[in-house]
């Protein structure tokens, strides 16, 4: 009987943290949830305007907006999830002094909130793009679901590892921001992976976000095969980062909270 009661308490704790997350992240700001949708829409429209002036057709498909949405949305999903998860302990620090709240609860609530929000944003923004630009769409649901799962898993793994490193080394967030600043240009959001010449293509392959974007495009474009995509590579990196983050957070989380 103790185990079901413990699971119930854990679920109730995560739900409470999730509701708190919803209130503090978007609920207090005017049009908070609308901004979560408006930001990617504005980015996609800007990219569409800039590149439609320079090029006559997108690299894949017939719509610039749809092509850029296929890269921009999974990239933003990864980015938002990893950033939210990385701040989980800092965000819930006052609550972690209570015996019924653990760092795992804080991480789970933060991840569920970010992943759910980004899934809704993806569906809403993509529907707006399809409707506004009259795009004919044939979705491959399994491939699309796998791509979104890869983005969420990578965001979780990187977020948990950065949660550890950010708490142990205060300057880590600035270092990480500098290291990842070129990612937008190196994640095939505005171009095709196949269009990159060697040897740069070989180096670019090691960027896991290239695989995330490629897998989502396999699901969104019926004619795109994305032969270079390796879900195992992305999920393996995500699992490795998650395991390392959880291992050391389990060892040092009390020092971090009390510090």
Using one digit for the tens of pLDDT, what is the confidence trace for 163-178? 999 988 889 999 999 9
Q: How far apart are CA 72 and CA 91, in angstroms?
A: 27
Residue 5: what pLDDT? 58
Residue 31: what pLDDT? 57
Residue whose structure tokens are 């959001």 = 189
| pLDDT beyond 50 at 2 | no
Mean pLDDT of the chain: 86
Which is higher by pLDDT, 32 or 143?
Answer: 143
Residue 32: what pLDDT? 59
How far CA 244 is from CA of 33, 122, 172, 179, 208, in Å, comes to 33, 29, 16, 20, 18
DSSP 8-state assignment for residue 34: H
Q: How confident is the model at residue 103 (pLDDT cuts 50, 70, 90)?
A: confident
Closest by CA to 210, choosing from 131, 248, 154, 129, is 154
Span 136-165, mean pLDDT? 96
| pLDDT beyond 80 at 95 | no
| pLDDT beyond 80 at 144 | yes
Mention every residue, 6+ apart, whose C-beta is less than 8 A from residue 142.
219
Q: How far apart are CA 194 and CA 210, in angstroms?
A: 11
Span 113-138, mean pLDDT? 90
pLDDT digits (tens, 9 = 90+) for 13-41: 777 776 766 666 655 555 556 666 677 77
Q: How confident is the model at residue 141 (pLDDT cuts 50, 70, 90)?
A: very high
- Cβ pair 157, 246 in contact under 8 A: no
Residue 1: what pLDDT? 42
Q: How far apart are CA 132 and CA 115, in angstroms?
A: 26
Residue 159: what pLDDT? 97
| pLDDT beyond 80 at 189 | yes
Q: How confident is the model at residue 139 (pLDDT cuts 50, 70, 90)?
A: very high
């Amino acid at each position: 009987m103790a185990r079901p009661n413990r699971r119930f308490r854990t679920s109730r704790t995560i739900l409470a943290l999730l509701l708190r997350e919803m209130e503090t992240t978007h609920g207090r700001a005017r049009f908070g949830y609308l901004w979560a949708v408006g930001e990617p829409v504005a980015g996609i429209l800007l990219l569409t305007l800039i590149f439609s002036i320079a090029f006559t057709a997108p690299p894949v498909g017939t719509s610039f907006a749809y092509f850029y949405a296929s890269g921009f949305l999974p990239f933003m999903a990864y980015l938002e999830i990893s950033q939210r998860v990385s701040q989980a302990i800092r965000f819930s620090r006052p609550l972690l002094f209570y015996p019924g709240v653990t760092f795992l609860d804080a991480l789970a609530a933060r991840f569920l909130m970010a992943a759910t929000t980004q899934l809704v944003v993806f569906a809403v923004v993509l529907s707006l793009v399809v409707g506004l630009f009259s795009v004919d769409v044939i979705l491959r649901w399994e491939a699309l679901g796998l791509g979104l799962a890869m983005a969420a898993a990578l965001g979780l793994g990187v977020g948990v590892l950065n949660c550890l490193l950010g708490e142990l080394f205060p300057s880590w967030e600035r270092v990480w921001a500098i290291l990842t600043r070129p990612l937008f240009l190196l994640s095939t959001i505005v171009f095709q992976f196949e269009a990159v010449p060697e040897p740069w293509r070989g180096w670019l392959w090691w960027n896991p976000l290239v695989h995330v974007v490629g897998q989502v495009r396999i699901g969104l474009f019926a004619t795109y095969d994305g032969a270079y995509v390796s879900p195992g590579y992305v999920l393996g990196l995500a699992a490795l980062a998650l395991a390392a983050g959880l291992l050391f957070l389990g060892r040092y989380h009390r020092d971090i909270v009390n510090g």
